[in-house]
Amino acid sequence: MTSLRDLGLSEYEARAYRALLRTGATTAKELSRASDVPMGRVYDVLNSLEQYHLIRSQAASRPKKYVAVEPDTALDRLLESKRQELAEKAEQYENVVAELTDELDAAEPVHDQFWTAAVGADETIDLLVERLAAADDSLVMVAGTPSPQFDLDAVGDLVVDELEAALDRGVEVSMLMSPGLVDSLPESVGQSYMDRLSSAENFHVRTAENVTGVFNLIDDVEVCIEVPNPLNPGQAFAMIDLKDPEFAANLRETFDPRWEEAAPLPL
């Protein structure tokens, strides 16, 4: 059950305001009896309600009297107060994130070997999107066959969002696909790629025959490799993320000649 406390009032403040709606203009002493707010607290409660602009006082009367602002106006004022409070909190958190980002990014990256794996379509996509977001300098995406990763009707916006963000921060993105994969992409997906990515000078797409497998090379130190389902090679089973500069360098040496021989895809 909702109450005025959900909008920031204390129990005593909520009682006092509701009581004033019932009694009309009244004194602090009378309000204490009507609301069950202790007399020792009622003046603090009334001062707080005045700061919220939920009541008005008649200082000329002796003793001083108080009256409640109409409910619609009072609720609008409480809502606006909450909005301002949330906006200030959001700004504080954004500043904290900005400071922590600078602090944590200042640490030198460690290129020790490390690997992890994600199993299942949702987990695979989550890992892929996370690693795309981690790219700082270069991103190579290779796809020879359709896979859940490139089922862009379902997850295309997530991938395109991360590619667009990577391009905006200056990452060089090179995408190599087989002609068959290009032909299999839904028209809506291809249009999304073209509209949002093609104008970036650091976005390059090429096609080549005999491109097999699906992998992503990130900053020449990390590789995301899609593992096909052994019972159904047309489906992805898992994705392995391997941080190994030596393995990544070998993969780059294999990729570069294929890239040079590949045909640019008109954007």
Which CATH number belongs to the domain containing residue 75 in this structure?
1.10.10.10
First-to-final CA distance of the chain:
56
Whether the pLDDT of residue 53 is over 50: the answer is yes
Same domain for 205 and 135: yes
How many separate domains does the chain show?
2
Domain range for 214: 115-264
Q: Judge if 227 and 157 occupy the same domain.
A: yes
- The DSSP output letter for 209 is T
Q: What are phi and psi of 171, to 5 degrees?
A: -75, 135
Confidence tier at 150 by pLDDT (50, 70, 90): very low
Q: Is the pLDDT of residue 51 over 70?
A: yes
* Residue 58: predicted pLDDT: 86
Residues 140 and 55 in one domain: no
Tokens of 26: 């009244």
Where does a domain end: 107, 142, 170? 107
In tens, the pLDDT along 213-261 reads: 788 999 999 999 888 777 766 666 788 899 988 899 999 999 999 999 9
Q: Are residues 239 and 146 part of one domain? A: yes
The two tokens of residue 73 are: 């106006």
pLDDT of residue 60: 74
pLDDT of residue 117: 85
Cis ω for the linkage preceding 63 (within 30 of 0): yes
Q: What is the mean pLDDT of residues 36-41?
A: 94
The average confidence (pLDDT) of the chain is 85
Q: Which residues of 217-228 are buried (b: 16+ CB within 10 A; e: fewer)?
A: bbbebbbbbbbb
Q: Is residue 180 pLDDT above 90, yes or no? A: no
User: Where a domain ends, among 61, 80, 107?
Assistant: 107
Categorize the per-residue pLDDT at 173 as very low, low, confident or very high, splitting at 50, 70 and 90. very high
Q: What is the model's pLDDT at position 66?
A: 94
Q: Is the pLDDT of residue 154 over 90?
A: no
d(CA 205, CA 109): 29
Measured in whole angstroms, the distance separating CA 24 from the mean position of its chain's CA atoms is: 48
Residues 138 and 40 placed together within one structural domain of the fold: no
Collapsed DSSP state (helix, strand, coil) of residue 32:
helix
